Amino acid sequence: FVIFLNAITTGLDIDLGRPDRYPGNEDLFFYMQSFFTLLFVLEACVRVHHLRWKYFLDRWCLLDFLIIEVSLLDASIQILRGESSGHGPLAFAFRIIRLVRPIRSIRMVTAFKELWLLVHGFLTSIHRLVFVVTCILLAGYFLGVFATYIVGRDYDLDMSWPKTFTHFGSVTRSMLTFFQFAT
């Protein structure tokens, strides 16, 4: 339940924690993230005390430990800099790493057998999905090259239709045009 609440507050922090749009929220989200970090530190201490060295052999526990360490490092840097909202490249890097935190909520999926079977099926078929995406991207690339060569370099068409360069001026623009057309 705590993992689920933390995932929700992380999403709210991303949406509402921008000081340029919603001033004043950054302190609230800093304190909320600090509260959740403290809860996770306490949970990790209890688990280490109970499991001893077996704690560091479990992958989920190692993921939790890594996320807790990054959260503690991020919070300590923010406190040392005297700010509650992380600005700058280092704070941004820690925020990106902390986005892994909602992955902890996947552990809750194992409690629901049908949902776990669905997630397990998705994870086992992911290499096939990568193959399909690769084939689609290759087909889009070949269509993009072809369209750029045929349409994007036709100067007569460029004079009659001014958006030729916008849609077919480069291979990436042609690919984007085809993907937009396909979807």
Written as tens digits, the pLDDT of the chain (183 aa) is 677 787 777 767 766 656 666 666 667 777 888 888 888 889 889 999 998 888 888 877 887 888 888 888 877 877 777 665 555 556 666 666 666 666 666 666 656 677 778 877 888 898 899 999 999 989 989 888 888 877 776 667 666 777 777 777 788 888 888 888 888
> Helix H segments across the chain?
2-16, 25-51, 59-81, 89-98, 113-124, 126-147, 155-160, 164-168, 171-182
Task: Please tell me the distance from the alpha carbon of residue 39 to that of residue 116, in angstroms, as a whole number.
Answer: 26
